[in-house]
Chains A and B, each alone.
Chain A
Amino acid sequence: MKVKGKVWSMFMLLLITVVVTAGCGNKANNEGQGGNTAGGTETSTPTTKNDKDIVIAINSNFITLDPHNASDTHSISAARTMYEGLMGFDENMNVVPVLAASHSISEDGLVYTFNLQENVKFQDGTDFNAEAVKVNIARIQDEKNNLRLRKSFAKVAKVETPDAKTVVITLSEPYNAFLNKVAMAPIISPKALTENGADISKMPVGTGPFKFKEWVQGDRLVVEKNPDYWQKDLPKVDSITFRPVPENGSRIAMLKTGEADFIYPMPTEQVSEVEGLEGITVDTIDSTIVRYVTLNTMKKPFDDVKVRQAINYAINKEAYIKVVKSGLGAKLDSTMSSKTQYYSPQTGYDYDIEKAKQLLAEAGYPDGFETEIWGENESETMKGMQFIQQQLALVGIKVEVKSMEGGTLSDQINAAKTPEEAKIQMWYVSWSPSSGDADGATRGLFSSEMFPPAGSNTAYYKNENVDKWIAEANKAVDPEAAKSIYANIQKTVWEDAPWAFMGVDQIISGKRSNLEGVKVFPDGSINVLNAEVK
């Protein structure tokens, strides 16, 4: 049968082509990477990199490189490689001076004077000076631009520049969190702003350690060393490539093969997979992200504080961290994380099922009740809701889990214009103050002016003292005074229990062991200023 022979030879030819192509690929790849080793599970390919170009894999795309309009953490991280503000954050989210050499605040808390660093230039060669700061604040405040930072500067009444190295900002009323907001506002080169116009979001020019090189949306953002950077001996690497890699498994694979030097976030359930592998280090730090369940305090049976406290006693938070968070996290012991400004730890609500039952009985629900919990349809969130369902079942509370896609959920919550219309009962969710400030971790969540759709007080929590204190804290000039006011707020809310207080997330990142200095800050932003390959 000659014919069949021909068909077969065609097939074999194809097979050979495929194998040979794959083989060539292998050779080329090895040459490029300095030799990979094959083998069992311990194959975390100890590729040593001699070049100083590092690759960072993250889980989603950058949205914009306009630092005044970025609201997602990754865009903020990207902007911070190229831009700097008068103030910035250290790795504990404390506000520290950057482009301001020093600053002072008037006694009435209204006038902020910043003395600027000398000899700082923008990447386009123009001077960084007081006028540049003024132009930037004007841009942020301009209603036409509708920038995300605008509300942070709403209380700025005027900006003066007595000389090239001094900026005086006067507020219309005291604003305790103002320095944190200044730290969120990087300074763009005024020349670039005029020349690039709307395209500034694609062509960033700042004073930062890295210069913009290329942004291929969805694929990579490349920044290269700014040779004229004002801080001595920095940066220590030649370039940084950010790659969005949404799939968790793929990010881990990239770290193992050495295609990525740093990955973030590292999914909690996969930490055990890479821990102990040669050449890979896993870093964990506490974040500013808190996880909780809001309880609609205006709806029965959650209108009774005893019911809310009972729920807090009925959930084993340690077990929650172990089961849902793979042991990587901490118990939430206040309304905010320990990494947030003016945090004050609380005690109580230790797991006590008998106490929970007793409180429920006192509230008139000895046999429990039926309710529902909402949350997003992402796998870890679902796991969290199922855990809560299981825990509350033990005290007779029957919880129905309703998971929804993010946009739909947001609609469900914000459709109610008044507390009476609200259908929400329990919502398992997380919150992180974008600038690490106490106001950001309090006002939107506990002020009675912030019921949806105006804000995120989805517990419909109303306490006149808390309302009053939130306003006072903002105007407090003295940090100690502010601290004690926030301590009061945290204590009161903790006792009123509008939330089931669950946990604080840990930020987990993975890196090749020869990479140093890349850090994820508690707010989830990646800092590369001190990146170094050893």
Chain B
Amino acid sequence: MGRYALQRLLGVIPLLFIVSVLVFLFIHLIPGDPARLIAGKDATLEEIHGIQEQLGLNLPLWKQYINYMGDLLTGNLGNSIRSGIPVTDMLESRIMPTLWLTFLSMAWALVIGLLIGVISAVYRNKWPDHLGTLTAISGMSIPGFWLGLVLIQIFSVELGWFPTGGVDSWKSYILPSITLGMGIMSMLARYSRSSMLETLREDYIRTGRAKGLREYVVISRHALRNSLIQVVTVAGLQFGFLLGGSVMVETVFSIPGLGRLLVDSILFRDYTVIQALLLLFSTQFILINLIVDLLYGVLNPKIRFSQ
């Protein structure tokens, strides 16, 4: 498996190269001149040209690309066009809040989602199933933005239990992670329920039961483990989206994370920051996919051997 992992890791490099080209081209295709946006409404043409020159934006696109790739290969992500701060500094200060938020959301969403799914499947068409379905459907349909504001109103303003935003302590992460995890929790609940139901119909489960295995063992050791494969795939993909997609939650709860940085950077066409962020998101997406693939092997050794 170690060799397989290494092979896959090396495969990431050409993929990242392609991504970097696409990201560069796409960004330069968006309308909007960063120099003008940075200089402000009352800027003179001279000022705007000065900024363009300073940032190398007046060069032909292919030259800009060569400069960008040259920097990238030496590990230099450049400085933010807008603030002049090194992009690595910006990413460094913004990455932890996003990571914490994502991991926390994912953790509780996985646990609760799986629990609801398994319980729903075991008690199919009975009231726990109906309750689980209701929870999952509501969780999926509630807009995150609205949920965040409602949570703030109830738990921060009325009850005073949690801060309304910022990242001062672990308490700051509770409400945002509930908001962010709700959709995924619901989705995982639905997936694990159907996956579990499918597995419970399999012959080996019947065999297990016929052999007199205890129901607990049948469900946790055999059924759950096998239905997890589908769930892991969904969870992995969702996790990828979460990291890049926490924009809304970071805005509502004023969390200084990567999502908000991306939105701010896009508004001001801060090319260097957008490029770095998109590369980062693509890399983590690719890595998570790799991890998911490796997890398959752990969950079901048959998959590993057939590689």
In the bound complex, what is the Cα–Cα distance between A4 and B158 (angstroms)?
37
Chain B residues with Cβ below 8 Å from A254 are: 164-165
Known contacts A4-B123, A38-B159, A243-B166: does B37 contact A25 (CB below 8 Å)?
A: no
Q: Mark A279-318, 1 if CB is under 8 A from B, else 0.
A: 0000000000000000000000000000000000000000
Is the CB–CB distance between B90 and A217 below 8 Å? yes
Contacts A201-B83, A408-B32, A411-B32 given; does A3 touch B160 at CB 8 Å: no
**In the bound complex, do residue B171 and residue A25 qualify as a contact, i.e. CB atoms below 8 Å apart?**
yes
**Is A453 part of the contact surface with B, judged by Cβ < 8 Å?**
yes
Do B93 and A218 touch across chains, with their CB atoms under 8 A apart?
A: yes
Nearest chain B CB to A78 CB, angstrom units: 13
- 20 sampled A-B residue pairs with Cβ under 8 A: A1-B215, A4-B123, A6-B216, A7-B118, A10-B115, A14-B111, A29-B161, A146-B50, A150-B47, A151-B44, A216-B93, A247-B149, A247-B251, A249-B252, A254-B164, A408-B31, A408-B32, A410-B33, A433-B42, A453-B48
Chain B contact residue count (CB 8 A cutoff): 68
Q: Which stretch of B8-16, B182-190, B228-236, B254-262 is in the interface? A: B254-262
Which of B149, B163, B257 has the most chain A CB atoms inside 10 A of its CB?
Answer: B163
- Pairwise interchain contact B45-A454, C-beta atoms closer than 8 A: yes
Within the complex, which residue of A218, A247, A431, A433 is in contact with B256, where a contact is CB–CB below 8 Å? A218
Report A-chain residues with C-beta under 8 Å of the C-beta of B40.
71-72, 148
**Is the contact region of chain B dominated by helix, strand, or loop, or is it mixed?**
helix
Residue A440 CB within 8 A of the other chain = yes
In angstroms, Cα B211 to Cα A212, docked, is 73
Residues of A within 8 A of B51 (CB): 146
Interface residue range, chain A: 35 or more
Report the minimal beta-carbon distance from A46 to chain B, rounded to whole angstroms.
12
CB–CB B32/A246 < 8 A: no
Cβ of A503 within 8 Å of any chain B Cβ, yes or no, is no
Residue interface bits A140-165, CB-to-B below 8 A is 1, else 0? 00010010101100000000000000
Q: Chain A residue with minimal CB distance to B82?
A: A63
Query: Does B260 lie within 8 Å of A246, measured CB to CB?
Result: yes
Chain B hits for A61, CB < 8 A: 264
In the assembled complex, B304 has its CB within 8 A of some CB on chain A: no
Q: Does A129 contact B (CB under 8 A)?
A: no
- Which one of A8, A71, A151, A219 has the highest number of Cβ atoms from chain B below 10 Å of its Cβ? A219
> Smallest CB-CB separation from B41: which chain A residue?
A456
- Inter-chain contact B164/A257, CB cutoff 8 Å: yes
Q: Name A250's contact: one of B159, B164, B267 (CB within 8 Å).
A: B164
Residues of chain B contacted by A440 (CB below 8 angstroms)? 42
- A456 and B156 form a contact (CB under 8 A): no
Residue A481 CB within 8 A of the other chain: no
Find residues 52-106 in chain A having any chain B CB closer than 8 Å to their own CB: 60-61, 63-64, 71-72
Tell me whether B296 is interfacial, beta carbon within 8 Å.
Answer: no
The answer to whether A381 has its CB under 8 Å from any CB of chain B is: no
Complex formed: what's the CA distance from A1 to B128 in Å?
15
A259: chain B residues within 8 A (beta carbon): 163-166
Interface bits B75-115 vs A (CB < 8 Å: 1, else 0)? 00000001111000010011001000000000000011001
Given contacts A71-B39, A254-B165, A456-B42, 19 further A-B contacts (CB under 8 A): A2-B215, A3-B214, A14-B112, A26-B159, A28-B171, A38-B158, A64-B83, A146-B51, A217-B93, A218-B94, A219-B97, A244-B256, A246-B251, A250-B164, A250-B253, A407-B33, A408-B32, A411-B32, A414-B36
User: Which A residues touch B174, using CB under 8 A?
Assistant: 21-22, 25
When distances are taken between beta carbons in the complex, the residues of chain B under 8 Å from A455 are 42, 44
What residues on B are CB-neighbors of A202 within 8 Å?
A: 85
Taking a contact as CB atoms under 8 Å apart, the answer to whether A29 and B261 are in contact is: no
- Asked whether, in the complex, the Cβ of B214 is within 8 Å of the Cβ of A43, the reply is no
A30 to B219, CA, bound (A): 44
- Report A-chain residues with C-beta under 8 Å of the C-beta of B58: none
A294 → B minimal CB distance (Å): 13
Complexed CA–CA distance, A411 and B219 (Å)? 61
Q: Please name all residues of chain A whose beta carbon is closer than 8 Å to the beta carbon of B122 when the two chains form the complex.
A: 4, 7
Contact assessment for A434 and B251 in the assembled complex, using a CB-CB cutoff below 8 Å: no
Find the residue from B30, B160, B174 having the highest chain A CB count within 10 A. Answer: B160
- Give chain B interface residues in 163-185, CB to chain A under 8 Å: 163-167, 171, 174
4 nearest A-B pairs in the assembled complex, by CB-CB distance: A407-B32, A218-B256, A36-B160, A219-B256
Query: Given the interface contacts A3-B219, A14-B111, A407-B30, does A246 sit within 8 Å of B254 by beta carbon?
Result: yes
Contact indicator A33/B160 (Cβ below 8 Å): yes
Per-position binary interface string of chain A over residues 471-512, scored 1 when its CB falls under 8 Å from any chain B CB and 0 otherwise: 000000000000000000000000000000000000000000
Q: Which of the listed residues A7, A148, A245 has the most CB atoms from chain B within 10 Å of its own CB?
A: A7
**Chain B, Cβ-Cβ closest to A39:** B158
Q: Which residues on B sit within 8 Å (CB–CB) of A20?
A: none
Measured between C-beta atoms, what is the minimum distance from A408 to chain B in Å? Answer: 5
